[in-house]
Structure 1
Amino acid sequence: MNVHSPDKKQVVRKLRCAVYTRKSSEEGLDMEFNSLDAQREACEAYVASQRAEGWVLVPDRYDDGGISGATLERPGLKRLLRDVDAGLVDVVVVYKIDRLSRALTDFSRLVELFEANNVTFVSITQSFNTTTSMGRLTLNILLSF
């Protein structure tokens, strides 16, 4: 008699991922496929690659075309931060860290806001992922400077 124990499936927590894109100049934004689209496509592919970890893409687009990363006064970023505050996002996904901010003080402020809302962020081209303990350590080291 062959007795099998029931499959014990591991429950994977669903992580709602928001993609944020930004391009400083308006050059090329009128093209059918532009830099914002390329950033978004790459980020969406990364989120899809993490599906086994419970990652799902939120349908909203958080795009800022033609706006400098030297300011936090960006409509797409403000909408993203409102959704973070509202508890609608678990992970913010960016193509590069400088898409989020070019100023260390603003970057630090954003990270504090993310942490206060239990939100992590990932830069897909720079091996920067605060969903892992190593990524959080790297962030803390960077912010200490």
Structure 2
Amino acid sequence: MICKRTTSQHPDFIQLVQYLDAELAERDGDEHAFYHQFNSIDSLQHCIVLYEGSEAVGCGAIKTYDHTTVEVKRMYVTNTQRGKGLATQVLMHLEAWATELGFQRCVLETGIRQPEAIALYKKMDIIKFLITVNI
């Protein structure tokens, strides 16, 4: 597995986020437009893409939240690659990058209709992370 650091302008990151948005639109139903307004990728400068060979299989990003904190954004793993621990790898890479940049905490927000994300965040049990579930 290869992890590439990039920005939100990278074509593979954009493609994976499109898959994520389609999945979230289905899960969120009528509420999707409300949540979508908080998920623009236009200005994300710290994004990663995971590759299995030449195939982009996962992504995530961090965005400055305040002077000591970043927010984890746009985490996604393709359907065919789920269950292999890739989301954990994405989160670990993002945490390492945030630490390198001098941040001390990460905020993770997710929706109640994303039980896989909630389970991942609880499983990680990393003290630096604050978890918020939007109900």
Q: TM-score, normalised by structure 1?
A: 0.35
Question: Which protein has greater RCO, CA pairs closer than 8 Å, 6+ apart?
Answer: 1
Of the two, which has the highest radius of gyration? 1
Q: TM-score, normalised by structure 2?
A: 0.37
